Chain A
């Protein structure tokens, strides 16, 4: 069985084939047991995917978004409002410090059997909202997504 026919069967299942191609392929599936079995497998897998209905929209969602937007617009002092170069420099310092700390923690456990490494990562992962670490992540995300979201419009 070629990979091509499997792709075609999947496109048939997803209604992605042009009408005439779909008709021809359906006829083949009807005639050929091997294709029938393959199609049935794909269909079973696809139809077997099931999730519960999504949670309802929480009450006051719009209000909360608006409040956050207003607080951003009012220019409150936060890392996310800092110039990009300041955030980048601070984030680089944070990463260097964390890497150093983590390296020391992993290779040089605390005296008395303590787990210095795990303490340092717990500290890292427990950073608060709008912290320097969050700012670093925002910077990474913004840089990666900027082109995709604004310039390469659909």
Chain B
């Protein structure tokens, strides 16, 4: 899972990015095609809203387009794109929080219409349990401080190593570990609280 630095140095994506900087529209379309799936997924995980994630991912590609000429090729292109995406989504979350403050809204999280795949499971009880876990996870992630949320999403759902996360967020591996550790504590508490609500027969929101 660890990035091989030798391979990273010759990531052909940088050549494509140089062509983007030179105004090659085809190269830009190809960059968008190759990275749209993982960037949309990352934005959705961070923002908790598929609709908002689409706009965010578009903005990320446009930022990459504008910055293509200034970037120094180092590491993997996707790491650079991830960094733009994480910064962009965290800014959106901060803006969301400020707007909520200005509107005097108390709710910590937004009940966004999250995407849920159609029910195709053979076992309805298992499907129900899966959905319950998704809701608990979404809620727990939404309550994490932004810097912890990004680390959890990158490690748990994007499968990045601590080293890769450190590269994306431009922090040390030690900082990644310590944010993850604090997040684990909060996540555990959130899961326990959700578990006790279910066992007490309270309806899931």
Contacts and interface: CB of A to CB of B under 8 A. Distances in A.
Are the chains A and B members of one assembly? yes
Interface of A: 6-7, 10-11, 14-16, 41-42, 44-46, 48-55, 57-58, 61-62, 64-66, 68-70, 72-73, 102, 118, 121-122, 124-125, 137, 140-141, 144-145, 148-154
B41 A54 contact: yes
B173 to A, nearest CB: 9
Interface of B: 1, 8, 23, 25, 28-29, 32-33, 36-37, 40-41, 44-45, 50, 53-54, 57-58, 61-63, 65-67, 70-76, 79-80, 83-84, 87-88, 91, 95, 99, 102-104, 114-117, 130, 133-134, 136-138, 140-141, 152, 155-157, 161-162, 167-168, 170, 177, 180-181, 184, 187-188, 191
A153 B76 CA distance: 10
A52 B134 contact: yes
B65 A69 contact: yes
A64 B83 contact: no
Given A52-B134, A65-B58, A149-B84, A45 B191 contact: yes
Contact of B28 (A49, A66, A137): A66
A55 B25 contact: no
Contacts, number: 156
